[in-house]
Amino acid sequence: MVRIARDKRHALLRKRIEEDPFVNDEELAEEFSVSVATIRLDRMALGIPEMRIRIKQKAEAAQPRQKNAGFVGELVECTVGQSAISIMTATEDMVDEAHIVRSQCLYAQANSLAQAVLHLPVAITAVANIKYKQPVTVGDKLVAVAEVIRRRDQKYYVWVKIRKNAKEVFRTKFIIESLE
Protein backbone atom coordinates (compact mmCIF):
# COMPACT_ATOMS: atom_id res chain seq x y z
CA MET A 1 0.00 0.00 0.00
CA VAL A 2 1.21 3.48 -0.84
CA ARG A 3 1.89 5.83 2.07
CA ILE A 4 -1.28 7.64 3.11
CA ALA A 5 -1.36 11.18 4.51
CA ARG A 6 -1.93 11.32 8.26
CA ASP A 7 -5.34 13.04 8.09
CA LYS A 8 -6.63 10.52 5.57
CA ARG A 9 -5.13 7.64 7.59
CA HIS A 10 -6.88 8.95 10.71
CA ALA A 11 -10.23 9.03 8.89
CA LEU A 12 -9.71 5.53 7.49
CA LEU A 13 -8.54 4.23 10.87
CA ARG A 14 -11.60 5.63 12.65
CA LYS A 15 -13.89 4.08 10.01
CA ARG A 16 -12.09 0.72 10.15
CA ILE A 17 -12.35 0.49 13.96
CA GLU A 18 -16.03 1.51 13.86
CA GLU A 19 -16.64 -1.33 11.38
CA ASP A 20 -14.68 -3.88 13.45
CA PRO A 21 -13.91 -2.85 17.04
CA PHE A 22 -12.17 -6.21 17.62
CA VAL A 23 -9.33 -5.51 15.18
CA ASN A 24 -5.96 -5.28 16.95
CA ASP A 25 -3.12 -2.79 16.46
CA GLU A 26 -0.90 -5.31 14.67
CA GLU A 27 -3.57 -6.01 12.05
CA LEU A 28 -4.17 -2.29 11.57
CA ALA A 29 -0.44 -1.61 11.22
CA GLU A 30 -0.18 -4.23 8.50
CA GLU A 31 -3.31 -2.98 6.76
CA PHE A 32 -2.10 0.65 6.71
CA SER A 33 1.58 -0.22 6.10
CA VAL A 34 2.78 1.64 9.19
CA SER A 35 4.31 0.58 12.48
CA VAL A 36 2.28 -0.58 15.48
CA ALA A 37 3.60 2.46 17.36
CA THR A 38 2.16 4.75 14.66
CA ILE A 39 -1.24 3.05 14.98
CA ARG A 40 -1.13 3.50 18.76
CA LEU A 41 -0.24 7.18 18.41
CA ASP A 42 -3.02 7.63 15.84
CA ARG A 43 -5.54 5.93 18.15
CA MET A 44 -4.47 8.14 21.05
CA ALA A 45 -4.76 11.26 18.89
CA LEU A 46 -8.27 10.20 17.86
CA GLY A 47 -9.28 9.23 21.41
CA ILE A 48 -9.88 5.59 20.46
CA PRO A 49 -9.16 3.14 23.30
CA GLU A 50 -7.11 -0.04 22.88
CA MET A 51 -8.82 -3.25 21.72
CA ARG A 52 -9.42 -4.86 25.14
CA ILE A 53 -11.16 -1.70 26.38
CA ARG A 54 -13.25 -1.50 23.19
CA ILE A 55 -14.28 -5.15 23.71
CA LYS A 56 -15.22 -4.49 27.34
CA GLN A 57 -17.26 -1.43 26.31
CA LYS A 58 -19.11 -3.45 23.67
CA ALA A 59 -19.84 -6.24 26.18
CA GLU A 60 -21.14 -3.78 28.77
CA ALA A 61 -23.32 -2.06 26.19
CA ALA A 62 -24.74 -5.41 25.04
CA GLN A 63 -25.78 -6.49 28.54
CA PRO A 64 -29.06 -5.21 29.90
CA ARG A 65 -28.40 -3.03 32.96
CA GLN A 66 -31.51 -4.14 34.86
CA LYS A 67 -30.47 -7.80 34.69
CA ASN A 68 -27.16 -7.03 36.47
CA ALA A 69 -28.64 -4.73 39.12
CA GLY A 70 -28.30 -7.39 41.84
CA PHE A 71 -25.09 -8.96 40.55
CA VAL A 72 -22.44 -9.66 43.19
CA GLY A 73 -18.87 -9.20 41.97
CA GLU A 74 -17.76 -7.99 38.56
CA LEU A 75 -18.75 -10.02 35.51
CA VAL A 76 -15.65 -10.18 33.30
CA GLU A 77 -16.62 -12.84 30.78
CA CYS A 78 -19.87 -14.56 29.88
CA THR A 79 -20.81 -17.00 27.15
CA VAL A 80 -24.55 -17.44 27.71
CA GLY A 81 -25.54 -21.06 28.21
CA GLN A 82 -21.92 -22.22 28.59
CA SER A 83 -19.61 -20.48 31.04
CA ALA A 84 -18.90 -17.23 32.86
CA ILE A 85 -16.25 -15.63 35.06
CA SER A 86 -16.59 -12.99 37.77
CA ILE A 87 -14.16 -11.41 40.20
CA MET A 88 -14.74 -9.96 43.63
CA THR A 89 -12.45 -8.59 46.31
CA ALA A 90 -13.42 -9.44 49.89
CA THR A 91 -14.19 -6.30 51.89
CA GLU A 92 -14.49 -5.47 55.59
CA ASP A 93 -18.31 -5.54 55.51
CA MET A 94 -18.28 -9.21 54.40
CA VAL A 95 -16.48 -10.63 57.44
CA ASP A 96 -17.69 -11.97 60.78
CA GLU A 97 -16.16 -11.51 64.25
CA ALA A 98 -13.34 -13.96 63.39
CA HIS A 99 -12.44 -11.79 60.34
CA ILE A 100 -13.46 -14.56 57.92
CA VAL A 101 -15.75 -13.82 54.97
CA ARG A 102 -19.26 -15.11 55.65
CA SER A 103 -20.42 -17.97 53.44
CA GLN A 104 -23.49 -16.05 52.25
CA CYS A 105 -21.19 -13.56 50.50
CA LEU A 106 -19.51 -16.35 48.52
CA TYR A 107 -22.90 -17.95 47.87
CA ALA A 108 -24.21 -14.62 46.56
CA GLN A 109 -21.31 -14.32 44.11
CA ALA A 110 -21.76 -17.92 42.96
CA ASN A 111 -25.55 -17.69 42.62
CA SER A 112 -25.53 -14.39 40.75
CA LEU A 113 -22.91 -15.79 38.35
CA ALA A 114 -24.98 -18.95 37.78
CA GLN A 115 -28.04 -16.82 37.04
CA ALA A 116 -26.02 -14.57 34.69
CA VAL A 117 -24.59 -17.47 32.66
CA LEU A 118 -28.12 -18.76 31.98
CA HIS A 119 -29.59 -15.29 31.26
CA LEU A 120 -33.15 -16.55 31.81
CA PRO A 121 -36.00 -14.03 32.08
CA VAL A 122 -37.53 -15.72 35.16
CA ALA A 123 -35.63 -18.37 37.12
CA ILE A 124 -35.23 -19.66 40.66
CA THR A 125 -32.43 -21.53 42.36
CA ALA A 126 -34.21 -24.80 43.16
CA VAL A 127 -31.24 -26.67 44.68
CA ALA A 128 -27.81 -25.57 45.89
CA ASN A 129 -25.17 -27.95 47.21
CA ILE A 130 -22.33 -25.84 48.64
CA LYS A 131 -18.95 -26.49 50.17
CA TYR A 132 -16.86 -23.77 51.85
CA LYS A 133 -13.38 -25.31 51.65
CA GLN A 134 -10.90 -22.65 52.80
CA PRO A 135 -11.24 -19.46 54.87
CA VAL A 136 -11.36 -16.19 52.95
CA THR A 137 -10.25 -12.91 54.54
CA VAL A 138 -10.41 -9.19 53.77
CA GLY A 139 -8.49 -8.22 50.64
CA ASP A 140 -8.58 -11.67 49.04
CA LYS A 141 -9.30 -11.53 45.31
CA LEU A 142 -11.89 -14.17 44.42
CA VAL A 143 -12.33 -15.53 40.91
CA ALA A 144 -15.57 -17.43 40.29
CA VAL A 145 -16.00 -19.68 37.26
CA ALA A 146 -19.45 -20.98 36.31
CA GLU A 147 -20.04 -23.84 33.90
CA VAL A 148 -23.39 -25.09 32.62
CA ILE A 149 -23.13 -28.87 32.85
CA ARG A 150 -26.49 -29.99 31.46
CA ARG A 151 -30.10 -29.12 30.83
CA ARG A 152 -33.13 -31.31 31.45
CA ASP A 153 -36.42 -29.73 30.39
CA GLN A 154 -36.61 -26.46 32.36
CA LYS A 155 -33.82 -27.39 34.80
CA TYR A 156 -30.24 -26.23 34.31
CA TYR A 157 -27.30 -27.77 36.19
CA VAL A 158 -24.57 -25.22 36.88
CA TRP A 159 -21.29 -25.73 38.76
CA VAL A 160 -19.53 -22.71 40.22
CA LYS A 161 -16.04 -22.81 41.68
CA ILE A 162 -14.49 -19.86 43.49
CA ARG A 163 -10.72 -19.65 43.74
CA LYS A 164 -8.30 -17.50 45.71
CA ASN A 165 -4.74 -17.51 44.31
CA ALA A 166 -5.64 -20.49 42.08
CA LYS A 167 -6.73 -22.53 45.12
CA GLU A 168 -10.39 -23.56 45.37
CA VAL A 169 -12.06 -22.01 48.42
CA PHE A 170 -15.76 -22.50 47.65
CA ARG A 171 -17.75 -24.62 45.24
CA THR A 172 -21.40 -25.20 44.57
CA LYS A 173 -23.66 -27.19 42.31
CA PHE A 174 -26.90 -25.43 41.42
CA ILE A 175 -30.10 -26.65 39.83
CA ILE A 176 -31.75 -23.56 38.42
CA GLU A 177 -35.29 -23.80 37.14
CA SER A 178 -36.74 -21.64 34.40
CA LEU A 179 -40.27 -20.51 35.20
CA GLU A 180 -41.17 -19.70 31.59
pLDDT(64) > 60 = no
For residue 71, name the pLDDT band (cuts at 50, 70, 90).
confident
Alpha-carbon distance 134 to 153, whole Å? Answer: 35
Pick the CATH number of 6-57 from 1.10.10.10, 1.25.60.10, 1.10.3720.10, 3.20.20.70: 1.10.10.10
Q: pTM for the full model? A: 0.62
The string of pLDDT tens digits covering residues 112-164 is 999 999 999 999 999 999 999 999 999 999 999 999 999 999 999 999 999 99
**Which pLDDT value is given to residue 65?**
46
For residue 55, name the pLDDT band (cuts at 50, 70, 90).
confident
Q: Minimal CA–CA distance to 60: which of 43, 46, 77?
A: 77
Mean pLDDT of the chain, nearest integer: 91
Q: What CATH number is given for 63-178 in this structure?
A: 3.10.129.10
Q: What is the largest CA-CA distance in the chain?
A: 69
pLDDT(32) > 50 = yes
Give the angle 73-79-81 at the CA atoms, nearest 5°.
105
